[in-house]
Amino acid sequence: MDFSLSEEQTLLKDSLERFIQNDYDFDTRRKVMAGEEGFSRENWKQFAELGWLAVPFAEEDGGIGGGAIELMIVMEQLGRGLVVEPYLATVILAGGALKYAGNEAQKGAYLGAIIEGSKMGALAFAEPQSRFNLADVATTATADGDGYVLSGHKAVVLGGPSADFFVVSARTSGGPRDADGITLFLVDGDAAGLSRRDYPTVDGLRASEVTLDGVKVGADAVLGTVGGGHAVLEQVIDEATLAVGAEAVGGMEVCYKDTVEYSKQRVQFGQPIGKFQVLQHRMVDMFMEYEQAKSMMYLAAMRLDEGYGAVAKKAVSGFKVQVGKSGRFVGQQAVQLHGGMGMTEELNIGHYFKRLTMIDTTFGNVDFHLKRYGAV
């Protein structure tokens, strides 16, 4: 049993920490978000140069062959910095689907471009009626000659506005919520019949409603096997769940530490508010929630690296349950203990609170993962 990082993992963590520390302070983030794209292409280039975009990909595909633990390291740090660049959307979601289901030609066409930072992608899996059920796919893919015609509405596609390509789940056979019969397709962002309505999200990201209206794709657009998309989606989303959970753990760390610091500075009734026992215990609770979430994060990452199966799925769901509960508590109490300041746009705390709140409903909330944990 060993909870320590290897030398390479420590180097990776250090490089992210340095970036967050030196190049991603809260004002810089604010400026980046105010830009048209809502993130910085310059930063993205730097991510590529630092090798972060290569983390989860195999060495033969130009990656560095990192696993779940490496993803966890990256996302925890990005969470500490509340980084808005679409790492999750491009590398983990779209990149993940390519990694697990892409053939040589597809990997060749996309993975290299993702790794060097020249292409961005998004995974269009959710639909207005689907909630967190990955098998609830109403978008249709109808055979048309050698290829397919796609039609449907994909909801809240993270990273949609900047996506050069989409990985789209569509139904090629089966009933409305059958796991079988879902196929993944690679669709170009400028494909005829694809339209997007782009918008910012409340937690500082960008997303799109993507409408597919008779989008024609060739047979080479099929990612993985026809009808076998669900298993790929599930694995990609589990990795992404670990990723947003790790992001939340990073956010919680900042929340509890900043709150402790603030409570030492803020004086009311003639003493720092951190001297009040009721607040001391609250901060102890925040700290414990953070530590519990971190434990479950380690478990989920290690289980995923042992191999994808029931044990890993259960660990991921357990982690997400813990993150949902801990993240809410820590985020809400960080705002509460900062008082009016915690409510402002100006201070970072409220922004962590928003992100933590939204992470709870990303890839399944507490109810969803409790049920899954019990069922696996």
Partner 1 sequence: MDLALTDADLAFQAEVREFINTYWPEDVRRARATSSRFEESRGHSPEVRRWIDALNERGWAVPNWPQEWGGTDWNPTQKYIWDKETAKAECPQLSAFGARMLAPVLYTWGTDAQKNEFLPKIREERMIWCQGYSEPGAGSDLAGLATRAVREGDEYVVNGTKLWTSGAHVADWMFCLVRTESGAKKQEGISFLLIDMKTPGITVNPVYILGGIHSVNEVELKDVRVPVENLVGEENKGWTYAKGLLTHERTGIAGVARSEVQLARLKRIAQETGMDGGSLWDDPAFRTRVTELEVDLEALSVTELRVLAQVAQGGAPGPESSILKIRGTEIGQAIAMMTIEAFGYYGMPYPEQTLIDNEGPIGNPYVMPTMKGMLYGRASSIFGGSNEIQKNIISKAVLGL
List Cβ neighbours of 208 (8 Å cut-off, separation of 6 or more).
Answer: 122, 157, 160, 161, 163, 196, 197, 198, 199
Contact 317, 369 (CB under 8 A): yes
* The one among 5, 64, 358, 376 contacting partner 1 by CB under 8 A: 358
- Closest approach, Cβ 355 to partner 1, in A, equals 11
**Is position 279 an interface residue for partner 1 (rule: CB under 8 A)?**
yes
- Segment contacting partner 1 by CB under 8 A, of 30-38, 99-107, 126-134, 221-229: 126-134
For partner 1, give the closer residue by CB, 63 or 364: 364
Q: Provide the token pair at 161.
A: 């506005």
List Cβ neighbours of 290 (8 Å cut-off, separation of 6 or more).
Answer: 249, 252, 253, 255, 256, 326, 330
| Nearest alpha carbon to residue 299 among 242, 234, 218, 347 | 242
| Nearest alpha carbon to residue 356 among 248, 254, 283, 255 | 248
Name the 3-class secondary structure at 182.
strand
**Is position 275 an interface residue for partner 1 (rule: CB under 8 A)?**
no
**Is position 329 an interface residue for partner 1 (rule: CB under 8 A)?**
no
Measured CA to CA, the distance from residue 297 to residue 66 in angstroms comes to 17
- Closest approach, Cβ 155 to partner 1, in A, equals 6
For partner 1, give the closer residue by CB, 141 or 273: 273
- Closest approach, Cβ 373 to partner 1, in A, equals 12
**Is position 201 an interface residue for partner 1 (rule: CB under 8 A)?**
yes
- Segment contacting partner 1 by CB under 8 A, of 1-9, 93-101, 160-168, 205-213: 205-213
**Is position 109 an interface residue for partner 1 (rule: CB under 8 A)?**
no
**Is position 203 an interface residue for partner 1 (rule: CB under 8 A)?**
yes
- Closest approach, Cβ 1 to partner 1, in A, equals 34
| Nearest alpha carbon to residue 91 among 247, 320, 303, 315 | 247
**Is position 35 an interface residue for partner 1 (rule: CB under 8 A)?**
no
**Is position 197 an interface residue for partner 1 (rule: CB under 8 A)?**
yes
* The one among 30, 58, 116, 199 contacting partner 1 by CB under 8 A: 199
- Segment contacting partner 1 by CB under 8 A, of 32-40, 59-67, 212-220, 348-356: 348-356
Measured CA to CA, the distance from residue 218 to residue 84 in angstroms comes to 33
**Is position 245 an interface residue for partner 1 (rule: CB under 8 A)?**
no
First-to-last C-alpha distance (Å) of the chain: 25
**Is position 145 an interface residue for partner 1 (rule: CB under 8 A)?**
no
Beta bridge partners of 221: none
List Cβ neighbours of 284 (8 Å cut-off, separation of 6 or more).
Answer: none
- Closest approach, Cβ 374 to partner 1, in A, equals 11
φ/ψ bin of 145: left (φ > 0), alpha (ψ from -120 to 50), beta (otherwise):
left
Window 169-188: contact mask with partner 1 (x via CB under 8 A): -------xx-----------
* The one among 9, 15, 28, 133 contacting partner 1 by CB under 8 A: 133
Q: Provide the token pair at 81.
A: 């910095």
Phi/psi for 269 (5° steps) reads 55, 35
Contacts to partner 1 by CB under 8 A:
126, 128-133, 136, 155-156, 176-177, 197, 199-203, 205, 207, 209, 267-269, 273, 276, 278-279, 328, 332, 335-336, 339-340, 342-346, 350-351, 353-354, 357-358, 360-362, 365, 367, 370-371
